[in-house]
Structure 1
Amino acid sequence: MASPSRRLQTKPVITCFKSVLLIYTFIFWITGVVLLAVGIWGKVSLENYFSLLNEKATNVPFVLIGTGTVVILLGTFGCFATCRASAWMLKLYAMFLTLIFLVELVAAIVGFVFRHEIKNSFKNNYEKALKQYNSTGDYRSDAVDKIQNTLHCCGVTDYRDWTDTNYYSEKGFPKSCCKLEDCSPQRDADKVNNEGCFIKVMTIIESEMGVVAGISFGVACFQLIGIFLAYCLSRAITNNQYEIV
């Protein structure tokens, strides 16, 4: 057992660790709020694009929302563990931080490796959506209209992609391709946007997902600091048998 003088000398060190860890935990809690907000924002702002990807891709915003929620709960637990100066709770906190870090690391690697499949998946699904397009509005047709209206584009590569569709054979270009609100007759190529949507959508997705990836990577790296602090404080409390009076 450590002598009273030894504990008195160690107490300021542990107090310092506690203060730093509390500040870290608060910031970590804020990052959880940020992840939650980014997930909700991604679900709302990128919904049209995700609807033309495979089902796994549409789960990305929900993964961020779930991760943000877990981080918020874990941050709350970490704050409680730090205030209590409980060695076993701090070890548990460090273990959870490590687990989340590994999950985020694996997710980032998988996302990077399969990023080209996302492009191919979107292009293939967009082409299918054009082939099966109807103005009555299934969710894929709605997504096509919203993308073409928002980005002022037409078709996948360019407007000529529509000429191979059944819809064009019956009615011509859809209204969402029009440069103006009314471009009748809708077979007049001069009255529709000439640029395709694929490149524009990929530019937006890469830009927006770059923001998401950057924030996620920053949060993951930030957790390493928490793991170190929680471990050090837990070890100091255990070794010196520190108790809060």
Structure 2
Amino acid sequence: MAVLKVKFSKIRRGKLAQVLWILNWISVVTGLIIFSLGLYLKIEIKKRSELMLSGNIQSVPNMLIAVGSIACIINFFGGKICYDCSDANKFSRWKLFMLPYIICTFFFTFCVFAGAIMCYTMRNELESALYRGLKDALKYYKDTDIPGRCFLKSTIDLLQIQFQCCGNNGFRDWFEIQWISVRYLDMGSKDTIDRFKSNVDGRYLLDGVPFSCCNPSSPRPCIQYQITNNSAHYNYDYLSEELNIWLRGCREALLEYYEHLMQSIGLTVLLVWLFELSVLTGVRYLQTAMENVLILGDPESESDGWLLQNSCMETAKHNFQIIKKLGKINQISTLSGKTDPNVDIPTADYGPDNVPPSSIPDS
């Protein structure tokens, strides 16, 4: 029994073909939208690639770019098919291509759905890449004279100002690294030498943060040095007082930004997937309805259209049997060079004695 069978008159078939032609052209536009979203996400990730360790985070934008490009090609081709399928004579030219086209479109819509799901599932990979990338970037903050690292100071300062964040997990991350270059330290000062010697690794550590961590909205002048020293500042208690530096870590801020971006893109791609699925359903109805018109031989007659000719279980069993037979036919022994004796190989019907014409002697 056919699944979701619908009866179509000639007028309804023509209207369905026209609607699908329009929808396919709209799908070309949606393909361009997916392509643009993937390109935008790729640029946004590339923009801060120095703050991330390379991994699989580029797989999502690459997937969206590929899916968007394929969508434009498939739907452009589908629009041409649907335009011709309004006429039974023109449909006969596309009859052999319709089923492969529908199967390819089905797998394509699955790729669109996979792209939408990937947008919601890359949080862990992105968080790991940001954590390790920011950790290394903060460590090289002071290396303004070293080629390849000289830009990191300005990058991190602009990041902390733009996203109102400080450090990797928080402002205390700056306490654990030497973020001031040696060229700006007075190596003849006893305080500087004592600070170097007080650390096992021989680093110049202090309880301070760069200026970009300061909150300009705070009424008090920014306290960026000796943050944990209450006696160094008048009327100050860092444990009870609200600090005038950003408390949120940059990893959390960037993760929140990219997560919001990917959720928006994922929702858009999911809506496109539902739209593509509806177009695919309409094309399947048009294909089956037009094929039945050719069987009836009367272009003016009504015809049935359906999604599946048989039930889901029957269709699955039928396809499984086809795959099983193909597997048996292709089963060849690599050792003996003989075919499977349990498989009947069809022979050509040359004549009553089944003798090929080349073996009959000339009279």
Bin the TM-score by the shorter chain.
0.7 to 0.9
User: What is aligned with 2:29?
Assistant: 30
Any stretches of 5+ residues in structure 2 without a counterpart?
1-7, 86-93, 185-207, 228-242, 300-363
User: What is aligned with 1:4?
Assistant: none
User: What is aligned with 1:221?
Assistant: 274
User: What is aligned with 1:135?
Assistant: 144
The residue identity in structure 2 corresponding to 1:144 is: I
Contact preservation (8 Å) 1:39, 1:62 = yes
The residue identity in structure 1 corresponding to 2:13 is: I
Structure 1 residues 177, 58: closer, same or farther in 2, change over 3 A? farther
Cα separation, 2, equivalents of 1:210 and 1:112: 6
Cα separation, 1, equivalents of 2:298 and 2:131: 62
Cα separation, 2, equivalents of 1:178 and 1:58: 33
User: What is aligned with 2:310?
Assistant: none
Shifted more, 216-225 versus 136-145: the winner is 136-145
Instruction: Summarize the alignment of residues 48-127 of structure 1 with structure 2, pairs less than 5 Å apart.
Output: 48-49=47-48, 51=50, 52-85=52-85, 86-110=94-118, 112-127=120-135
Cα separation, 1, equivalents of 2:157 and 2:100: 50
Asked if 1:11 is matched to 2:10, the reply is yes
* 1:41 CA displacement: 2.3
Q: What secondary structure is seen at the aligned counterpart in 2 of 1:55? A: coil
Structure 1 residues 48, 238: closer, same or farther in 2, change over 3 A? same
Cα separation, 1, equivalents of 2:213 and 2:280: 53
The residue identity in structure 1 corresponding to 2:105 is: L
User: What is aligned with 2:163?
Assistant: 151
Cα separation, 2, equivalents of 1:102 and 1:205: 24
The residue identity in structure 1 corresponding to 2:110 is: L
Q: Deviations over 1:87-121 (max 9, x none)?
A: 33433332222111222333444554553343233
Identity of aligned residues (%): 22
Structure 1 residues 117, 58: closer, same or farther in 2, change over 3 A? closer
Normalised by the size of structure 2, how large is the TM-score? Answer: 0.55
Contact preservation (8 Å) 2:123, 2:259 = no
* 1:54 CA displacement: 3.2
* 1:11 CA displacement: 2.4
Cα separation, 2, equivalents of 1:236 and 1:148: 61
Instruction: Summarize the alignment of residues 188-227 of structure 1 with structure 2, pairs less than 5 Å apart.
Output: 193-227=246-280
The residue identity in structure 2 corresponding to 1:103 is: C
Structure 1 residues 231, 148: closer, same or farther in 2, change over 3 A? same
Cα separation, 2, equivalents of 1:139 and 1:232: 62
* 1:208 CA displacement: 0.8
Counting matched residue pairs gives 234
Q: Deviations over 1:125-170 (max 9, x none)?
A: 2222222333355499365344223213220122221222233474
Contact preservation (8 Å) 1:36, 1:69 = yes
* 1:70 CA displacement: 1.4
* 1:175 CA displacement: 5.5
The residue identity in structure 1 corresponding to 2:40 is: W
User: What is aligned with 1:3?
Assistant: none
Higher helix share: 1
Shifted more, 185-194 versus 10-19: the winner is 185-194
Contact preservation (8 Å) 1:36, 1:66 = yes
Cα separation, 1, equivalents of 2:48 and 2:149: 15
Asked if 1:167 is matched to 2:179, the reply is yes
Q: Deviations over 1:74-94 (max 9, x none)?
A: 111111111222233433332
Partner of residue 287 from structure 2, selected from 217, 227, 234: 234
Structure 1 residues 192, 229: closer, same or farther in 2, change over 3 A? same
Cα separation, 2, equivalents of 1:233 and 1:213: 30
Cα separation, 1, equivalents of 2:27 and 2:170: 46
Contact preservation (8 Å) 1:97, 1:226 = no
Q: What secondary structure is seen at the aligned counterpart in 2 of 1:57? A: coil
Q: What secondary structure is seen at the aligned counterpart in 1 of 2:144? A: coil
